[in-house]
């Protein structure tokens, strides 16, 4: 049985590494990108089961990435969890809701909070659904 794939896009390398270690320990396959364009290319090569996206990234931000994915066949219906350290609570919440995000997690956050949200969407391999 194939492991569910999670694509993480964030320009914070330490966060990418920490999330990758924790998600792989739960049995997920993890793809990681440090910008939106790299994430789009990875998603086109290996469509993920879930996206974890930073909103503010160089080049193509998390919102622009979703808009591009919506235009790419087969990539518009992937669930998204946004993470952000940006201010503007009402605007971010509104934009996330408009783009169909499952949740917006504000930085700094506890990794357990993110993992809880991930396993609500994708039960970890080996766990009951």
pLDDT tens digits, one per residue of 8-45: 999 999 999 999 999 999 999 999 999 999 999 999 99
Per the structure, the complete domain to which residue 74 belongs is given by 5-121
Q: Which two tokens stand for residue 87?
A: 């201010």
Calpha distance 120→39 (Å, rounded): 23
For the segment 69-82, what is each residue's pLDDT rounded down to a tens digit?
888 767 878 898 98
Q: Does a structural domain hold residue 129?
A: no
Q: Does a structural domain hold residue 12?
A: yes
Number of structural domains found in the chain: 1
Calpha distance 122→119 (Å, rounded): 5
Residue 95, domain CATH: 3.40.50.2300
Contact in structure between 83 and 113 (CB atoms under 8 Å)? no
Q: Does a structural domain hold residue 126?
A: no
Share of the chain above pLDDT 70, in %: 83
Q: What is the pTM of this model?
A: 0.87
Q: Does a structural domain hold residue 37?
A: yes
Q: Does a structural domain hold residue 40?
A: yes
In terms of Cβ atoms closer than 10 Å to its own Cβ (0-12, 13-18, 19+), residue 45 is exposed
Calpha distance 44→124 (Å, rounded): 23
Pick the range with the lowest mean pLDDT from 30-34, 87-91, 110-114.
87-91
């Amino acid at each position: 049985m194939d492991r569910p794939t999670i694509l993480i896009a964030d320009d914070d390398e330490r966060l990418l590494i920490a999330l990758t270690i924790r998600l792989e320990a739960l049995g997920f396959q993890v793809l990681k990108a440090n910008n939106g364009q790299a994430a789009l290319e990875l998603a086109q090569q290996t469509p993920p089961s879930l996206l974890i996206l930073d909103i503010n990234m160089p080049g193509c931000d998390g919102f622009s990435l979703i808009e591009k994915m919506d235009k790419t066949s087969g990539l518009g219906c992937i669930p998204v969890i946004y993470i952000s350290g940006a201010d503007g609570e009402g605007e971010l919440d509104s934009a996330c809701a408009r783009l169909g995000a499952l949740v917006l997690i504000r930085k700094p956050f506890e990794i357990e909070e993110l993992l809880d949200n991930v396993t609500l969407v994708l039960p970890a391999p080996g766990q009951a659904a």
